[in-house]
Amino acid sequence: MSTTDHCEALSLMPLAAAIDTILNEVKAISETETLNLYVAHKRVLATDIVSLLNVPPADNSAMDGYALRSEDLTTIDTLELIGTTLAGSPFTGSVNAGQCVRIMTGSVIPQGTNCVVMQENTETNGKLVRFIQKPDAGNSVRKAGEDIAAGQLIVSKGTVLTPAHLALIASIGQASVEVIRQLTVGLIATGDELTLPGQQLMAGAIYESNSFALAAMLENLKIKVINYGIAKDEIASLRDVFKRADSECDLVVSCGGVSVGDADFVKDILAESGRINFWKVAIKPGKPFAFGRLSQAWFCGLPGNPVSSYVTFEQLVMPLLRKLGGQSTAINQAPYFVAKAANLVHKRPGRADFQRGYFYRDVKGQLWVKTQDNQGSGVMSSLTNANCYLLLPQEQGDVNSGLELNILPFSNLFTD
Judged by CB under 6 A, does residue 73 bind ligand AMP? no
Judged by CB under 6 A, does residue 206 bind ligand AMP? yes
- Nearest approach in angstroms of CB 239 to ligand AMP is 17
Q: Which of 255, 316, 342, 408 binds ligand AMP (CB under 6 A)?
A: 255
End-to-end CA distance of the chain: 38
Judged by CB under 6 A, does residue 305 bind ligand AMP? yes
* Coil, strand or helix at 52: coil
Q: Which of 269, 258, 369, 281 is nearest to 20 (CA)?
A: 281
Helix axes 235-248, 266-273, angle to 10 degrees: 50
Judged by CB under 6 A, does residue 191 bind ligand AMP? yes
Q: Which of 306, 325, 326, 350 binds ligand AMP (CB under 6 A)?
A: 306
349 CA to centre of own chain: 30
Look at residue 303 and give the partner it binds from Mg ion, ligand AMP, none, a contact being a CB closer than 5 to 8 Å depending on partner kind: ligand AMP
Q: Which of 256, 286, 292, 325 binds Mg ion (CB under 5 A)?
A: 256
- Nearest approach in angstroms of CB 232 to ligand AMP is 12
Between 147 and 193, name the residue whose CB sits nearer to ligand AMP: 193
Judged by CB under 6 A, does residue 229 bind ligand AMP? no
Tell me the residue type at 151.
Answer: G
Residue 144 and residue 369: Cα distance in Å, rounded?
48
Q: Which residue is nearest to ligand AMP (CB)?
A: 304
CB-count exposure of residue 10 (10 Å: 0-12, 13-18, 19+): exposed
Q: From residue 349 to residue 388, what is the string marking binding to ligand AMP with x (rule CB under 6 A)?
A: ----------------------------------------
Between 61 and 210, name the residue whose CB sits nearer to ligand AMP: 210
Residue 387 and residue 389: Cα distance in Å, rounded?
7
Residue 49 and residue 39: Cα distance in Å, rounded?
17
- HEC-encoded secondary structure of 276-303: EEEEEECEECCCEEEEEECCCCEEEEEC
Q: Which of 274, 285, 286, 303 binds ligand AMP (CB under 6 A)?
A: 303
Judged by CB under 5 A, does residue 191 bind Mg ion? yes
Q: Which of 46, 53, 48 is nearest to 155 (CA)?
A: 48
Positions in the binding site for ligand AMP (CB under 6 A): 189, 191, 193-194, 206, 208-211, 255-257, 259, 261, 303-306
Contact residues for Mg ion (CB under 5 A)?
Answer: 191, 256-257, 304
